[in-house]
Chains A and B, each alone.
Chain A
Amino acid sequence: MTTLVGQVFGSLPASVRRLVPVELQADLRDRYGQWEPGDIGFEPDAPTAARGERTGPPDFIVLGPAECGARWWMSLIADHPGVAPTHSVDGAAHVFDRYCTEGFGDGEIARFHAFFPRRPGRIVGHWSADGLSYPWIAPLLARAAPGAKIIVLVRDPVAVVMDRLAATAGTRRPSGGADLADAVDRGFFGAQLERLHDLFPAALVQVLQYEQCVSDAPGALARTYEFLGLGGSDRPVLPHPIGHVSGNPGDRLSAATRSRLQALYADDVARLTQLTADVDLARWPNFVPEH
């Protein structure tokens, strides 16, 4: 729920809101209910199903942060004529965040399903930005949408860390180590995929490598369409919007720092390549195996 004061504050131009120190913005959001996606109080309203539409669990779920291109991929899938318009790209992307400390039962599952109206013959999907890295979310997805097909986007972990830090800089009160740890944790894809395989059969999980998607978006998208049982589409495939850091974000690091991050992720990357054949390490120069 958003109060009137919160609505007024939220309606101010971003340039005016930026005059308020980020530390105070957090207080104001808490106090006046001006929550944003990712805030625990944020409660998006489910859409009203139109006549002829039915609601239910999503048919597919895209897992991964925007830094891995997951938001972009979700929007490309949603552009297919066989896919119902998604209400999940922004608001509902964080719908599970609150349930780390709150109970999750039949009522919450029904509320989640309400976000997915679709007409007969169309499928619909959900994007969960934090569903890979925050450990309480995937088990809830497995309860709320046990038959859903899962699309996971992974990216060179060193680039993920740098892009994430660039994306969050200045948007919140810096919390020092917590922000860094959050960015670092997002890159442990091997452990995350392993956890996912405990919840969803491997046949229901498609792993996509961000770098391959960028390099050959139509080809990768065709594989996703096939995985989802969709035919081809003649809609144009929009390229990935420029990220927060142009080029390879990992290039900003000194050789020694990059080497430390490579060492940090080396075992996990090896684990990831054992779990899936869909990651081509030649596209992750930080982790190309030595011959």
Chain B
Amino acid sequence: MRPPQFVSQAFRGLPPNARTVLLHARGRYAPWEAGFDFTPPAAGPDEIVAPPDFVGVGVQKAGTSWWYELISEHPDVFDRADIHKERHFFTRFCVEQFGPVDVHHYHQWFPRRPGTITGEWTPDYFAHPWVAPLLAEAAPEAKILVLVRDPIDRFRSGLTFRRKMGAPNTSATVADAVRQGFYARWLRRLYEFYPPGQVLVQQYEQCRSDPQQQLDVTYDFLGLDVFRPPDVRREVNVSGGEKIDLEPEAEARLIETYHDDVVDLAGLVPSLDLSLWPRFAHEGSRP
């Protein structure tokens, strides 16, 4: 039974952490929260389960919800509305035992109708270095998708998002936002377990500028036919409101922090167009 509208409005007016306390008291957890029940959903009568055909691993605030939605609209892709795009399945296994039963449970999270493909997109996987070997054990044949975005824009957007979601205003929260932007570092980690040919890295800015052309690249990589979803330029999961302040001197230092990693990334991903990241446009020519 849905609560009365005034209750919903009052709930939305609460601070994020207060909302979380109330939701937890009712036993409701998001997949990224400790306390989420990872019991797999039951497959429908006409559904089969198998390892995911594709797994998006990164990065937060680089258009992954938008891109996942566009992939899911393809008639040969199966996506169940009651299962979140972000499974967050592997996060908890950093210091916990992981074995065949867990692999089996992971597969149960991917029901699909015969003849379709399915997958997930958990943006945190990329910068969690313990995930890649577990994912490779559970889904060795999966095609891996990564969207990257100017690391400074991603940092601001990611930190704003985390704060809005109720993350504490601590140096650890800031450090996590910085950490996620070392794309080359995390890509190299991924390549230890998946050959580069099994990984597609696309640039958010290119997707924004020509979404259909970039979507054709994604579809082709996933073995899907050409498809034209309506309204490819729609906005999904946009962080509204003001972003956190980043003072110019601090921004200059952050650019310096990412410099070597961006240069490395440009070598690893030839399709990366650094002219779309003006802060780093000349990084390739710097010593």
Contact of B249 with A257 in the complex, beta carbons under 8 Å: no
B8 at the interface (CB under 8 A from A): no
Check if A133 is an interface residue, CB within 8 A of chain B.
yes
Q: Is B170 an interface residue (CB 8 A)?
A: yes
Q: Is the CB of A256 within 8 A of B99?
A: yes
**Which partner residue on chain B sits nearest A35 by CB separation?**
B169
**Complex interface: stretch among B46-54, B75-83, B123-131, B230-238:** B123-131
Contact A101 B247, CB 8 Å, known A39-B168, A177-B88, A178-B173: yes
Let me know if B18 is at the binding interface, CB within 8 A.
Answer: yes
Are B21 and A177 in contact, CB atoms less than 8 angstroms apart?
Answer: no
Does B141 reach chain A (CB closer than 8 Å)? no
Interface core residue of A40, A161, A177, A256 (most chain B CB under 10 Å):
A177
The 8 A CB mask of A1-43 against B (1 = contact, 0 = none) is 0000000000000000000010110110111000000111100
Q: Which of A26, A30, A135, A162 contacts B178 (CB 8 A)?
A: A135
Is there contact, CB below 8 Å, between A101 and B179? no
With A23-B166, A172-B168 in contact, do A177 and B175 touch (Cβ < 8 Å)? no
CA separation between A105 and B97, bound complex, in Å?
A: 47
Closest to A30 in B: B169
B95 surroundings in chain A (CB, below 8 A): 161-162, 165, 180, 253, 257, 261
Which of the segments A92-100, A110-118, A222-230 contacts the partner chain?
Answer: A92-100
| CA–CA, A162 and B95, complex, Å | 8
In the complex, what distance in Å separates the CA atom of A254 from the CA atom of B97?
A: 6
Segment 77-129 of B: residues with Cβ below 8 Å from A: 88, 91-99, 124, 127-129
Contact: B91 with A102, CB < 8 Å? no
Least CB separation from A267: chain B residue: B192
B33: interface (CB < 8 Å): yes
B7 close to A (CB within 8 Å)? no
Q: Does A197 contact B (CB under 8 A)?
A: no
Give A238 to B250 CA distance when docked, in angstroms: 40
Interface magnitude class on chain B? 35 or more
Which residues of B are found within 8 Å of A136, using beta-carbon distances? 178, 250, 253-254, 257
B91 near A177: Cβ-Cβ < 8 Å = yes
Inter-subunit contact B170/A40 (CB<8 Å): yes
B176 touches A181 (CB 8 A): yes
Interface size class of chain A, counting residues whose CB lies under 8 Å from the partner chain: 35 or more
Known: A100-B174, A101-B244, A135-B178. A184 touches B94 (CB 8 A): yes
Q: Residues of A contacting B198 with CB < 8 Å?
A: none
- What is the 8 Å Cβ interface bit string for chain B, positions 2-45, against chain A (1 contact, 0 not)? 00000000000001111011001000000011100000000000
Residue of B nearest to A191 (CB): B185
Specify which of B21, B170, B176, B248 lies most central, judged by the most chain A CB atoms within 10 Å of its CB: B170
Q: Which residue of the partner chain, among B33, B128, B162, B168, contacts A181 with CB atoms under 8 Å? A: B128
User: B140 within 8 Å of A by Cβ?
Assistant: no
Contact A180 B253 (CB under 8 A): no
Q: Determine the chain A residues whose CB is within 8 A of the CB of B196 once the complex forms.
A: none
Contact yes or no, B128 A180, CB < 8 A: yes
Are A101 and B98 in contact, CB atoms less than 8 angstroms apart? no
Nearest residue, chain B, Cβ from A253: B95
Contact with B along A144-185 (1 / 0, CB 8 A): 000000000000000001100100000011111111111011
Find A133's partner among B159, B168, B175, B249 (CB 8 Å cutoff).
Answer: B175
Q: Are B169 and A39 in contact (CB under 8 A)?
A: yes
Q: In the complex, A156→B174 CA distance in Å?
A: 25
Q: How far is the CA of A103 from the CA of B16 in the complex (A)?
A: 29
A102, B254: Cα distance in complex, Å: 11
Name the one of B98, B175, B245, B248 contacting A256, with C-beta atoms under 8 angstroms.
Answer: B98
Assess whether B266 is interfacial by the CB under 8 Å rule: no
- The listed residue with most A CB atoms (<10 A of its CB), out of B16, B127, B253, is B253
- Give B181 Cβ to nearest chain A Cβ, in Å: 10
B98 in contact with A134 (CB, 8 Å): no
B246 within 8 A of A: yes
Per-residue interface assignment for chain A, residues 43 to 79, with 1 indicating a CB less than 8 Å from any chain B CB and 0 otherwise:
0000000000000000000000000000000000000
30 contacting pairs across A/B (C-beta < 8 A): A23-B166, A27-B16, A29-B169, A38-B170, A97-B170, A100-B174, A100-B254, A101-B174, A101-B245, A103-B247, A103-B249, A103-B250, A134-B171, A136-B250, A161-B94, A172-B170, A173-B17, A173-B20, A173-B166, A176-B32, A176-B92, A177-B124, A178-B162, A178-B172, A181-B128, A181-B129, A182-B172, A257-B93, A261-B95, A264-B130
**Interface on A for B, CB 8 Å cutoff?**
21, 23-24, 26-27, 29-31, 38-41, 94, 97-105, 130, 133-136, 139, 161-162, 165, 172-182, 184-185, 253-254, 256-257, 260-261, 263-264
- 3 smallest A-B Cβ distances: which pairs? A97-B171, A103-B249, A103-B247
